[in-house]
């Protein structure tokens, strides 16, 4: 029996594929963040709640891709890998990125389940604080992703 193995780029552990997944998830989160923020004033109507739920799910998916996939893939690179500089930078920045994760998870937990009117009244301020934290996270991630990209470019020149 001839069986062809087809590579599934969605589940690939190749670092470039993981970076692309991270960027896609980040973009989706930011688009949903903007759409949610544009709904002010926030009222306890279904569209706002649905959009909040969609944003929360996209946010958690995005948050998980960094430490659980991209950074893990960097850690798994051998010592002589072209990604060693990106790995070292990720190690240096990881604690700061983890703090942004905690802020985002606190937001998620606060608005998970049934949202009270007082909590909804504070959603604008909570989104603002979350936005600042996400901006910090993106800046730090971009430094790591630039190092990954530089490593890829260097390995192509050497090869």
- Domains, the chain: 15-158 (1.20.120.1370)
| pLDDT value for 68 | 85
Write out the DSSP string of 47-115. Answer: HHHHHHHHHHHHHHHHHHHIIIIIHHHHHTS-TTSTTHHHHHHHHHHHHHHHHHHHHHHHHHHHTSSSP
| pLDDT value for 4 | 37
| pLDDT value for 157 | 60
| pLDDT value for 156 | 63
Bond into 41 cis (ω within 30): yes
Pull the structure tokens for residue 113: 């389940």
H/E stretch holding 138 reads helix 123-158
- Whole-structure pTM over 0.75, yes or no? yes
- The rounded distance, in Å, linking the Cα atoms of 135 and 100 is 9
Quick check: 101 and 61 in contact, CB under 8 A? no
Residue-by-residue pLDDT tens, the chain, 159 positions: 433 333 333 333 588 899 999 999 999 999 999 999 998 888 777 688 889 999 999 999 999 998 889 999 999 988 888 999 999 999 999 999 999 999 999 999 999 988 888 888 899 999 999 999 999 999 999 999 999 998 877 666 655
| pLDDT value for 129 | 97
């Amino acid at each position: 029996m001839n069986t062809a193995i087809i590579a599934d780029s969605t589940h690939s552990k190749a670092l470039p594929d993981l970076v692309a997944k991270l960027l896609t998830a980040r973009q989706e989160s930011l688009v949903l963040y903007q759409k949610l923020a544009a709904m002010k004033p926030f009222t306890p109507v279904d569209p706002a709640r649905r959009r909040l739920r969609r944003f929360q799910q996209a946010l958690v998916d995005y948050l998980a891709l960094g430490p659980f996939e991209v950074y893990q893939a960097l850690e798994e690179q051998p010592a002589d890998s072209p990604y060693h500089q990106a790995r070292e930078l990720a190690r240096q920045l990881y604690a700061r990125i983890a703090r942004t994760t905690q802020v985002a998870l606190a937001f998620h937990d606060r608005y998970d389940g049934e949202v009270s009117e007082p909590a909804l009244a504070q959603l604008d301020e909570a989104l603002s604080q979350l936005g600042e934290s996400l901006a910090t996270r993106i800046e730090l991630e971009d430094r790591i992703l630039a190092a990954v990209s530089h490593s890829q470019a260097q390995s192509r020149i050497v090869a």
